[in-house]
Amino acid sequence: MEYQIFPLKNGIRVIHQQVDSPVAHFGVIVNTGSRDELEHEQGMAHFIEHTIFKGTKKRKAVQIINQLEDVGGELNAYTTKEETAIYATFLNEYYQRTIELVSDIVINSTFPEKELILEKEVIIEEINSYNDSPSELIYDEFEELVFNSHPIARNILGTPEKVRSFNKEQVKQFMKKNYQTNEMVICSVGKIKPTKFESLIRKHFELMDENVSERNRIPFNGYIPQNIEVEKDTFQSHCVIGAEAYKLTNELRLPMVLLNNILGGSSMNSRLNMALRERNGLAYNVEANYSSYTDTGVFMIYFGTERNNLYKAIDLVESEFRILRAKKLGPKILAKSKKQLIGQLAIANENREDLMLTIGRSYLYFNKVDRLQDVFQKIENITANDLHKISNEILAKNNLSKLIFL
């Protein structure tokens, strides 16, 4: 699939994929997330994600909401450790309306103090809700364990105390320091004439002042495996087992994705789902997660189970790790695992909102987008030796950390 790609004079990069669909998707992704915050700014990137919709130089919050929702569209945003995104889904006929609105939000947000006060309480309720969900909380606490005291370890939401301390001036300072135009990508998937698309983008986004600088992040190093048990007043015990893993540009990242899928991917026949749920009835939810960042990564196995079954479940997980460390996958199992991952990626590619965000992230970090067929070929090229090497590096017994909520 060919992409329409062009830069703006202020350093923003643009990528668009033409598709024959009545529905379009449009977004802006910024290479700024929670790891770019100073200690007293913890939660700031997420706070901006919430409050950037609360008013611009020409729109009030309710007008921002209604601009797309009145015609059936949706406006959304997310924050991760390394990026912030604002994006929309809408009918093709509203491309101009959407591009103008998103540019207004990104360039002209005013962060009214009254709206900031109200949104602080909303975010604090989000934090409280999150803290009441141990199956979600344990993921962040495991990353804090793995990335011990490094900025990437911090919870994206921040703390109630820090969120309450934020003001308009701090928001503006953080954006000026971190939202560089050369670290922004505009991404789009929809049906629009290329000339019209470029004209609209240049008209609205070249109004943004150039803010170009090099992204300097403190690299993470010094992972130390730990085993921690925490008393929690919950019915189930929750457990995460994992370790530091490969960064975004590591040649073993895609093989790690495959191994992650074999162990605990979305399919019911993943090894850990079969071992814990199907054969032993020890858990309802078992999953593996691999997140890669620009300088590091993290691999996690999660499950929740009745307290009496906790250590039996841990033994089963560790048994699957031992099998992968001891013996290479046979040709038939390897081929089947590759076909499964390729099928999942092909199906996911049909979700065009995800596609829009995927090509945007790829262009942001790599300045290119691999064709789906090229990705499939890379998966086919993964060898049993690759997976065996990863198993003996990442899943080595003395490399694993464990966090348990009892």
- pLDDT per position as a tens digit, 43-61: 999 999 999 999 999 999 9
Number of independent structural domains in the chain: 2
314 and 254 share a domain? yes
- Where residue 11 falls (left for φ over 0; alpha for ψ -120 to 50; beta otherwise) is left
| Three-class secondary structure of residue 136 per DSSP | helix
Q: Is 210 part of any domain?
A: no
- pLDDT per position as a tens digit, 199-251: 999 999 999 999 998 888 999 999 999 999 999 888 899 999 999 999 999 99
Q: Is 218 part of any domain?
A: no
Q: Is 216 part of any domain?
A: no
Q: Range of 63's domain?
A: 4-205
Q: Is 349 part of any domain?
A: yes
Q: What is the pLDDT of residue 234?
A: 86
- pLDDT per position as a tens digit, 250-293: 999 999 999 999 999 988 999 999 999 999 999 999 999 999 99
235 and 91 share a domain? no
In the chain, the N- to C-terminal Cα span, in Å, equals 50
Rounded distance between C-alpha atoms, residue 195 and residue 95, angstroms: 13
Q: What is the pLDDT of residue 165?
A: 97
The model's pTM is 0.94
Q: Is 221 part of any domain?
A: no
Rounded distance between C-alpha atoms, residue 296 and residue 30, angstroms: 19
176 and 250 share a domain? no
177 and 107 share a domain? yes
> 296: domain CATH number?
3.30.830.10
201 and 268 share a domain? no
201 and 234 share a domain? no
Last residue of a domain, one of 205, 237, 262: 205
pLDDT tier at 1 (50, 70, 90 boundaries)? Answer: low
190 and 235 share a domain? no
